Every structure is written in structure tokens, then in C-alpha cells.
Chain A
């Protein structure tokens, strides 16, 4: 469950954002649509606990995340928020599987190789476990980043333009995977995008202007 109230953020005098309140329950999905420059990434970072807003609150489950101190916020993010980025980024020096395990380690969780294997299988990546991430195709990379977002069974999954670099087929596949798996782990799924192809997949939508 993710809830926000009265979030505003200003980078400077000119660049000010007032964001609408968001409420997304467990297993629910929400699409945040907006053109470039309306503060999509800013909002996503605020929701993810990466950027502290000038005003307003972000509450995940029962935690007001910006009341947490630095290290605690990092840990909270690792354990409760799964992030999927527009361009999938990984730790280059380790294999696909190790990237997943690293995510567990960084969140301070125990290693669960079995769950990692399950994710690899369900995301159709079983044969790529030991591949270097930069050797994988775009679709594979995006599926791997979904797996990483899921590995710690988070409360909230935030996706930043997860489909904009993908063709129609991959786009649909990725968004369906996100929906299905956030439901499995009983997480809120919030997708921030300018990609109009996604409109039809979501019941709840918020448009940023």
C-alpha cells in the first residue's frame, strides 16, 4: 500500500512541481501518465525514497518514509520497494543470477537462491542465469530488471518508463509480467510513463500536467 499527500517539489524558482495525491492499495495497479518535463521521474524518485520532496508525505504500509534516517531509508527501500527503470542497469561485473542475489544482499535479506531460480524460470530467463547482463537482449534485460524488482518481495513496485524502449510485443509482455507478479507478491504496482500504449492495461490512471 502506497499513499501520498500534498507533495510539492521545486528544483528552483521556475521548476516547481505540485503532484496529485496518490493512493494505491495492495495488489492494485496505477498508471501515471505524462509528457516529458512534467516531473514523472521526480515523482517516481520521491515515491521511491530517493528524493526527499520539499513538502508532503509518502506512506508505504504504515511507514512515513521520509521520517526515516539515511541508512534506515536505504534499507527500507531495499526491502519494500522494487524499482524498474527505463533503461535496465545492472552491476556489469557479475552474472545475471548474481545481480539478483546482490539485490537480496544489499537489502539485508538472506540469500534465497530457490526463489531467484523460480523467478528466472517464470520470466523465461532460466538459460541466461550465468550470462553477463550486457550480453543479454533488451527484452531479456528488462525481464531481468523485473526479476530484480521482485526478488525481495516488496510492498511497492515502481516502474519508470519500463516499456518505452521496447517493441509492441515486448511491451505487452513486460507490462503483463509486472501486473501478474506484483499480484503474486501482493504489492502495489505504479507505472510512470509517457507511453500511451499502456493506457488500455490499467484501470486506475493519474495524468500529470
Chain B
């Protein structure tokens, strides 16, 4: 019968007060650990999805909303911007910009967002193709690892996009059946949650959607006509781009093409163009070619040809973050153009601050519960001490040292703290894993339970300290037990 065993027997001898102590401790520790778990993962996700993006440019509105929608793909976008407006930032060769990624959104499939973009997004998130290939033609989609897993998408799977970002069958577009041509490797960043296609696919879907309701937009007519071409084209084998027959399009007469700046186009170095036969391209008679039909052309220059079409936002990486001009770029954009520029680092810190208030309130509650549990342990030990004063004297009479009594009471407090810690850990992880599905439905974020956030040792020490402090005064009282007095009262 060691002290540890005796202490254990003593605390389970009073199951009701043990239960009360453990419930309070478990709630307190559990809540603290839950907050730590969620905070850690949110911060981790947010930081990972910063992806060294220095600037987001989009329509005027709430900068935080723009960043949440463009970088984290939660919340709605602030609106759209035209390619003409965005051209300076999308153009290759901007002196300050290392990489720019155009994003067009507005559609989703089963709650996962369909993003019209080009291959620069893959470089941004360092994503690689796992199976299949990159999207290229109209209505081809390359999907993130999580989407593919969650929705069971495989190469060749077809899906219809729905308007908006909610999973709502009523909003499903009549047109625009996408085909999965590739699946990305898991990166842990937000790209895992996205369905990627070319920008024109997004335009096409929406032109159709608009066309179904009204035909007031003049731009619509040619694009709808183009779409028929595309449908025809998509039936072809486009693997070899240089083999594409440009004569197909020569029959069309496209006046809106006149403002396209071909000199600028050919003067650039087109990294994205690798599959494209550039010599042939420049040698081509551009006056007669139809840019909107070049739906398989993933080059940035091609995108810029659609000056009056819209995209949602642009993600930008600077060449140098410390460049003075780069630092003043957002301010210049915000005051001199109709665009809005926002620095993610700043906005996310603002978000942390806002979330921090809520988190702090929760933390305060959790700490209060923990303190109440300490008081509860203190009171129950003190009560048991009164009931057990004869018992404790007895232990002394039987030869126990006064320090043994001190240890006994301390051990009782520590055992409760230890069990409370274990139960708290259990509670927080079980709570998180049961909440994961609803959280990931809402935010498209997977929260993992049973992972370490690095604070466990500190939390453990704090809990044990709590038990120690709660038991300290009762233990000292036990140490100072006056056995003669206690036994005389008998």
C-alpha cells in the first residue's frame, strides 16, 4: 500500500466530488487545448496559404474580403475587374512583379470553387501534377488533391458547375460540363481545395448563364458563336498544339481584335508558351486570326487580348519585397485606379487581431473554468481533510512521517490534475474530430485532431501546477496535523 495507491483510493472514495473536480478540470483543459488546436491549424493554414503572395488586386470593396476570397477561398469576391484595367499587372515584364496569377471565379461544384486561371498558380503554390495533365482546352479541369478525394473525381470524370459558392443544385448551369484531365498532388495549401480551369471556361459558363436570361450584352453574340466553335474544337485532339489548324478560324471576321498590340506581344519572352510554336505564332497573320477562338492558348498574352472581359482578382509576388516602389504600389493603385490592392500579411494580421478578441474571450473563459476547478479541488481536499483528520492522525500514530501526509494530499491533487489533463486532451480532440466535417463543409478546411501543436508540455506543466497549488494549503495543514489534539477529541 504505497502513498500513491492510498491517495488514489482516497480520491475514488469520494466519487461525487471527484466527478465534479474532473468535469471542471476536463472542461477547462479541454477548452484551452481545443482553442490551441484550432488556432494552431488556422494559423498554419493561413500562413501556408500566404504562399509568399505580396499583393492581391481586385475590385474595390473590403480588402479583407478580397483577400479571404482570393487567397483562402472563403467569403465572396468583392466584384470583378476588366482585363484592360488589370493589364499592367498581368503583363509579363513588369519591373517590380515577379509573378502574377489571374483568378476568375463565380462558380463552384459541390461547394468547391472553380477557378479560371493559368499555370502560374501552380508555381505559386508549388503544386505538381499527380496524374493526368494540366488543363488547357475549354472545359478541362485539373483538380486539387482534396477535391478529388472528397468528391471521388477521377481522370475523365465530368461535372457541371453551379453558380455561386454554395452546393445548390438549383443554380447548376445548363451548360459547361467540365471534364477532369488532371489531379494535383497534395500540397497542404488551399490549391488542394480548388478546381482549376482556364479563364475562358469561366467566361463561357457565365456568358451562357447571362444569355439564358437576357441578351442585352452585345459582347455576348460573338462569344456565344465562339462557344459553338469551342464545342466543336473540344472534340479534336489538341495534344499537339503546333499541329493546330489555324485556317479554321480565318473565315471569321473579328473587328474587336484591332486594338490588340501585337508588337508588344511578340516582344516578350513567353515562358508559359513552351508547348506553343512561337515562331509560327509570330509569323502568323494576326490581322486575320481570332484571339477568342484560341481557347487552347494558355499564354498570358492571349489572355490580355480579351481587354473587355473580366477576371476577379490577381495574386502578385514582388521581385523584391524591400523595394521602395513595390512598397508604395498598393497605395498608388488604391488612389489612382478603380482597382483595390491589399497586402495579405497586413490584412491577415488584422484578421488575427479580430479573431484574437474572440479567441481571447474564449481563452479567458477556459482559464476561468480551470481556476474554478482548482478552487473546487482545493475545497474538496480541505473538506476531506476535516473528515479525515482522525485518519491522518492515525497514519502518524502508525508511524507515518508528517511529510508523508504532506505528500499524500499533494499526490491526491496531482492525480486529479493528471487525470483532468488526459481527459481534457481526449475531450478537445474528440470534439474537434466530430466538428471537423461541419467545419470543413463551411470553410473547405480540414481540421486534424490528434496532432501536436507544440504547447502540450506547457499545458501539462500548467495543469500539474494547478493541481499542486490547489493541494498545497490542504497538504500543509495535513503536515501540521496535531495528532494529540485530534485523537483527544476522538
Contacts and interface: CB of A to CB of B under 8 A. Distances in A.
Contacts of B397: 48, 50, 77-78, 83
A131 interface: no
Contacts of B9: 93-94, 98
B333 interface: no
Interface string A21-62: 000000000000000000001100100101100000000000
Contact of A90 (B394, B396, B402): B394
Interface in B66-93: none
A70 B405 CA distance: 14
B399 A108 contact: yes
Nearest to A95: B9
Interface stretch (A99-107, A135-143, A182-190): A99-107
A87 interface: yes
A110 interface: no
Contact of B1 (A42, A78, A83, A101): A101
A85 B404 CA distance: 22
Given A86-B490, A101-B1, A91 B396 contact: no
A51 B400 CA distance: 16
Nearest to B401: A71
Interface centre among B390, B399, B487, B488 (most CB of A within 10 A): B399
B10 interface: yes
A106 B12 contact: no
A159 to B, nearest CB: 13
A74 B399 contact: yes
Contacts of A45: 484, 487-488
Contact of A91 (B2, B6, B399): B6
Contacts of B10: 91, 93
Given A71-B401, A98-B1, A50 B391 contact: no
Interface string B385-410: 00010110011111111111000000
A89 interface: yes
B400 to A, nearest CB: 4
A51 B484 contact: yes
B13 interface: yes
Nearest to A42: B488
A75 interface: yes
Interface of A: 41-42, 45, 48, 50-51, 70-71, 74-79, 83, 85-87, 89-94, 98, 101-103, 105-108, 111, 148, 152
